[in-house]
Amino acid sequence: MLVAPNLYKSLPFDPVRDFVPITKLGFSPAVIIGWGIFAPARTPPTLVKQLNANIVKVVESPAAEARLANYGVTTASSTLEQFGAEVRNERRVLAEMARNAGIKPE
């Protein structure tokens, strides 16, 4: 979980103390948990590209990598196109799982 520090006080939990690194739960470091940042529909593409470049710069910084490593997190980034493809694929997989399980939207 990645939470902006200025939001910590508004959360009903402490995002640092209340969570255990996934590696301490017995999961292999090969476990992949992804996250991404979405912008509202019709956000200008130039702004989305600028936000992505800035986020990648932070995520790939040695300081962020070192701090997140303390929690068993390995950082990675992707292009906007790669992330979009990943989201579309995840939606397809989850929709298929729901159909196979007989889950219907309410």
Is residue 84 in some structural domain? no
Predicted pLDDT at 43: 92
| Residue owning tokens 């939001």 | 7
Predicted pLDDT at 69: 85
Is residue 97 in some structural domain? no
Q: How far is CA 94 from each of CA 84, 101, 103, rounded to the nearest angstrom?
A: 15, 10, 11
Is residue 40 in some structural domain? yes
Predicted pLDDT at 10: 72
Is residue 91 in some structural domain? no
- Domain range for 46: 8-76
Give 60's DSSP letter: T
Is residue 29 in some structural domain? yes
24: CB partners within 8 A, 6+ apart: 72
pLDDT digit string (tens) for the chain, length 106 residues: 455 666 667 777 776 677 766 666 666 555 555 678 888 889 999 999 999 999 889 888 999 889 888 877 788 888 889 888 988 988 888 888 888 888 887 7
Is residue 63 in some structural domain? yes
3-state DSSP call for residue 85?
helix
The letter for the amino acid at 74 is T
3-state DSSP call for residue 103?
coil
Tokens in use for 77? 């980034």
Is residue 19 in some structural domain? yes
Tokens in use for 90? 């995840």
| Residue owning tokens 């997140």 | 68
Predicted pLDDT at 101: 86
Tokens in use for 15? 């995002």
Domain count, the chain: 1
Predicted pLDDT at 94: 83
Is residue 52 in some structural domain? yes
